[in-house]
A and B are shown apart, each in its own frame.
Chain A
Amino acid sequence: MIELKQITKQFHVNGDTITALDDVSLTIEKGEIFGIIGRSGAGKSTLIRMINLLERPTAGVVEIEGQDITQLKKKELSSLRQRIGMIFQHYNLLKTATVEENVAIPLRLEGLGKLVIRERVDRYLDIVGLSEHRNHYPEQLSGGQKQRVAIARALAHEPDILLSDESTSALDPETTESILELLLEINRELGLTIFLITHEMEVIERICDRVAVIDHGNIIEQGNVLDVFSNPRHETTQRFLKTNLDVPEEVVSELQTRGTLVHLSFIGSQTEQAVLAQLTKRFGILPNIIGGGIKKLKAGLVGNLLVHLDGDHEQTELAVRYLKTSGVHVREVSNHATVLDRLG
């Protein structure tokens, strides 16, 4: 378990004080995949570096398994860091070393024996699927392959925790998918706790159990991915969610002049119930689907619909209440400004 308690981090740049993290508290459970999402400059890079103390907090405590790591001596910190793997956006491999050496060298520097190193290099290159490329140099590999080498290098220390710093941000969608799949597999099969930061929604949706949204050094929202995404409270969160319901602004404002516009989220099995048909049947309301899509979250499917409800005001209210009691998350798209926020 990793606990960040009231972490504040300030940088002094040319006489100015910049607060990168402002009283941040987080708990990451053993074995889960915890994601931080935020725009660039929100403080997520600084936050992830608190866990292995690449950056030291100005105030606050970082606890791993109940131990305050900010108090560790140099040697103890070194051995702690060996139990925390880290992967990066730009892979950070040795250009002068082969795939195999890239995994082996850190182990050798750590003082492990030749036999152990060989066995681990074989095992982890196999897990990431690069056994055949062991004698290649990083420059001969694609981005995804390089990230796999970096993952093998991190795993070869047999860590308990893996930190992922924007590890898929430089990759194309297909490669991103395969790296995320690999991370999921590692989490499931090796039981690693994964803490990741990203600015990509799909990374969170695809593999995270829990998510925290960071903005200007503050955690503005956190919880299960399903809950946060089906019922985002904060504007920044909603903005991250805009993606698959890109309806032109004119359409939205036109529709609002006659009737009510609602955003519906269906979770898991409800996706199959014909709730919209019930609206017509029970309340005489004609739902008109403006846009929609289905997202595959780690915990299951989430369907999102933007629906225009055309009908009597009172009946509409009843209909919305009916939807809510059927377990559908309903957000009314009420005025122009929030529409823009929600729909981009």
Chain B
Amino acid sequence: MQQFWTDWGDLIWTGTIQTLTMTSIALLISTLIGLPLGTLLVLTRPNGRLANRFVCGGLSSVINVIRSIPFIILLFFILPFTRFIMGTTIGVQGVLLPLIVFTAPYIARLMESALLEVDRGVIEAYEAMGISTRKIIWYVLIREARSSIVLGLTIATIGLIGATAMAGLVGAGGLGDIAYQYGHLRFEPEVMYVTIFVLILLVQSIQSFGNRLAAKLKRA
């Protein structure tokens, strides 16, 4: 046991940090894109506050198209675009853009369904009080949906962790890469087991943190 940690401890630790870094940066940026898009979807849908068939339909199709592509294919498919934007296609920098392109539309959908749960009556009540749409979005729509938003983001985070396993293919490292490199190619099953165990631990703690936060935000 002692020996195992001396041999592999650093590697697994580095991998964990890499996975967490990729996940958190990609999650942050994807949320900044996905939440407004989800809100836009809700506002522009028929009978929405800013009903607009073209915006809603167009945005919805784009999201569907991107979401149809599996991450591993997306990763290669948008290589030229990645190089153009990020200046490189390898390492953490090279994988961030594909991760965001993959996750933002997913988050947009998750946010859309969270926001749709908000009772229209409350929104109408605030409209009747002369409060602007902009304020209603933030202080009513997003506030009332916050518990579901947190649950949605928890799901997205776990999805992201899964996607980062593919990041090894462009040399970005991470736990998934270690499991593949050492467990599969070099036949060090212990490394794979430990890596998988760390992944399980991560996913478990993120999910229970998300659940607890959501319950707290729900408040009655």
Which A223-247 residues have C-beta < 8 A from chain B? none
* B121 pairs with A88, CB closer than 8 A: yes
Cβ proximity bits A106-143 to B, threshold 8 Å, 1 near / 0 not: 10011000000000000000000000000001111000
* A93 pairs with B122, CB closer than 8 A: yes
A202 to B219, CA, bound (A): 36
A1: Cβ under 8 A from any B Cβ? no
B contact residues, total (Cβ < 8 Å): 23
Q: Which of A54, A77, A150 has the most CB of B within 10 A?
A: A54
Q: Which among A18-26, A79-87, A270-278 touches the partner chain? A: A79-87
Known contacts A96-B218, A139-B220; is-contact A54 B127 (Cβ 8 Å) = yes
Which A residues lie within 8 Å of B126 (CB)? 106, 109
Interface size class, chain A = 20 to 34
B124: Cβ under 8 A from any A Cβ? yes
A78: Cβ under 8 A from any B Cβ? yes
If over half of B's interface residues share one DSSP class (helix, strand or loop), that class is named, otherwise mixed; here it is helix
* A96 pairs with B139, CB closer than 8 A: no
A289: Cβ under 8 A from any B Cβ? no
Which A residues lie within 8 Å of B139 (CB)? 105, 109
* B143 pairs with A96, CB closer than 8 A: yes
Which residue of chain B is the closest to A52 with respect to CB atoms? B128
A140 to B135, CA, bound (A): 27
A150 to B128, CA, bound (A): 13
Which B residues lie within 8 Å of A59 (CB)? none
Which residue of chain B is the closest to A87 with respect to CB atoms? B125
A140 to B219, CA, bound (A): 10
Which residue of chain A is the closest to B118 with respect to CB atoms? A95
Shortest Cβ gap from A183 to chain B (Å) = 17
* B130 pairs with A79, CB closer than 8 A: yes
* B122 pairs with A92, CB closer than 8 A: yes
A16 to B147, CA, bound (A): 40
* B125 pairs with A82, CB closer than 8 A: no
* A110 pairs with B130, CB closer than 8 A: yes
Which B residues lie within 8 Å of A105 (CB)? 139
A97 to B125, CA, bound (A): 15
A81-B129, A96-B144 provided; 9 other pairs, C-beta below 8 A?
A54-B127, A78-B131, A86-B129, A88-B121, A95-B144, A95-B219, A96-B146, A96-B217, A96-B219
Residues of A within 8 A of B (CB): 52, 54, 77-82, 84-86, 88, 90, 92-97, 105-106, 109-110, 137-140, 150, 157, 163
